[in-house]
């Protein structure tokens, strides 16, 4: 009596027609099962390989076909942008303009806001003439005489005479405001600027301190003094935040352009802020 074990083996995936053509017919030696498996495996591997190659050629990555390269940004474009931005910021916030900016802020954010527009305009124009017009003309004259090579005064040795001119102009503006009976904190704002210029002048003999940082930090000190002593207007907090941000941007711009080191910028902040802050405390 035979033991039928054919039911233990699966039928060939090729179907009954292939099973009938196989010589073994049953048992583990059934060639159709193993031959059929190998042939199907080869076909599946081939199909999978073809499909994989097709996906590599056509599958999108972030919506872009694989054969297309992602755009490459030229770092030189960003460097040029920061160069232009830093240079423009350095000229907009040049030290010569700081007395004018300080005057405008004082007239609109303190008790001086009660003055008429024409009075504010006249005083602002006088401050601009003394602290921008006179120094600018003298610097141009110095350049024509060959005593200054760059109107930006980027060389340490070129700054001696311009520093002296700036100190005299700031001090003269303070005296003018004093005789016009301006509040003492406003008078001392200009005197504090002259003191900061004098400190920078002394330091400049050995080290190139940042005049930009000193000038802009002086206005930040004035705004803080206004908040405590000069009946500030409601918008002074917003302007103080804006000005502190401008201080940071200007200092970063000077470092980016290679005009100063971070230490020279920080030293300028300290000189300008402390000079104006302590001088405006004099009543």
Axis-axis angle for helices 75-92, 236-256 (nearest 10): 120
Residues 6+ apart with CB under 8 A from 124: 100, 103, 104, 107
Q: What percent of the chain has pLDDT over 70?
A: 69
Instruction: Quickly state the pLDDT bin for 218 (edges 50, 70, 90).
Output: very high
Question: Do 86 and 92 meet the contact criterion of CB atoms below 8 Å apart?
Answer: no
pLDDT by residue (tens digit) across 36-89? 444 444 444 445 444 444 444 444 445 555 455 555 556 678 889 999 999 999
Q: Give the pLDDT of residue 78.
A: 86
pTM > 0.95: no
- Angstrom distance (rounded) from CA 162 to CA 175: 20
- Whether the pLDDT of residue 4 is over 80: the answer is no
Better-scored residue on pLDDT, 169 or 151: 169
Q: How far is CA 147 from CA 71, 94, 202, 207, in A?
A: 50, 20, 19, 20
Q: What percent of the chain has pLDDT over 90?
A: 55
Q: What are phi and psi of 234, to 5 degrees?
A: -60, -30
Reference 199, options 182, 218, 180; nearest CA is 218
- Going 92 to 93 to 99 to 100, the CA torsion angle's sign is positive
- Whether the pLDDT of residue 26 is over 50: the answer is no
- Whether the pLDDT of residue 228 is over 90: the answer is no
Distance in Å from the first CA to the final CA of the chain: 127
Q: Give the pLDDT of residue 177.
A: 96
Q: Give the pLDDT of residue 36.
A: 43
Mean pLDDT of the chain: 80
Give residue 199's Cα distance to chain centre: 29
Q: Give the pLDDT of residue 237.
A: 94
In the block, tokens 């000005």 appear at 243
- Angstrom distance (rounded) from CA 220 to CA 243: 7
Q: Give the pLDDT of residue 158.
A: 67
- Whether the pLDDT of residue 21 is over 70: the answer is no
If phi > 0 it is left, if psi is from -120 to 50 it is alpha, else beta; for residue 146 that is left
- Going 149 to 153 to 154 to 160, the CA torsion angle's sign is positive
Q: Give the pLDDT of residue 130.
A: 95
pLDDT by residue (tens digit) across 177-215? 999 999 999 999 999 999 999 999 999 888 889 999 999
- Whether the pLDDT of residue 225 is over 70: the answer is yes
Among the residue ranges 4-8, 110-114, 131-135, the one predicted with the least confidence is 4-8
Q: Give the pLDDT of residue 40.
A: 47
- Whether the pLDDT of residue 154 is over 80: the answer is no
Longest dimension (CA), the chain: 135
- Whether the pLDDT of residue 223 is over 70: the answer is yes
pLDDT by residue (tens digit) across 85-121? 999 999 999 999 999 999 999 999 999 999 999 999 9
Better-scored residue on pLDDT, 105 or 27: 105
Q: Give the pLDDT of residue 136.
A: 86
In the block, tokens 């002296």 appear at 164
- Angstrom distance (rounded) from CA 239 to CA 230: 15
């Amino acid at each position: 009596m035979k033991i039928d074990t054919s039911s233990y083996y699966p039928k060939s995936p090729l179907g009954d027609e292939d099973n009938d053509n196989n010589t073994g017919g049953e048992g583990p030696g059934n060639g159709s099962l193993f031959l059929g498996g190998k042939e199907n495996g080869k076909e599946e591997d081939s199909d999978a390989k073809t499909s994989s190659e097709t996906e590599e050629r056509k599958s999108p990555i972030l919506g872009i076909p694989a054969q297309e390269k992602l755009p490459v940004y030229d770092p030189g474009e960003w460097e040029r942008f920061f160069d232009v931005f830093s240079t423009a910021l350095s000229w907009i916030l040049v030290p010569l303009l700081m007395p004018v900016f300080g005057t405008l802020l004082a007239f609109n954010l303190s008790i001086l806001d009660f003055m008429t527009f024409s009075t504010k305009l006249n005083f602002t124009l006088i401050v601009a003439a003394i602290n921008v017009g006179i120094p600018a003309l003298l610097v141009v004259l110095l350049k024509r005489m060959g005593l200054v090579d760059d109107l930006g005064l980027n060389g340490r040795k070129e700054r001696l005479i311009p520093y002296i001119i700036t100190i005299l102009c700031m001090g003269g503006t303070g005296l003018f405001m004093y005789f016009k009976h301006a509040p003492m904190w406003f008078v001392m704002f200009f005197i504090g600027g002259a003191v900061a210029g004098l400190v920078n002048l002394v330091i400049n003999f050995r080290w190139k301190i940042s005049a930009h940082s000193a000038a802009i930090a002086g206005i930040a000190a004035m705004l803080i003094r206004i908040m405590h002593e000069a009946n500030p207007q409601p918008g002074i907090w917003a302007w103080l935040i804006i000005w502190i941000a401008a201080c940071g941007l200007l200092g970063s711009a000077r470092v980016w352009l290679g005009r100063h080191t971070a230490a020279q910028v920080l030293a300028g902040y300290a000189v300008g802020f402390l000079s104006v802050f302590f001088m405006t405390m004099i009543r």
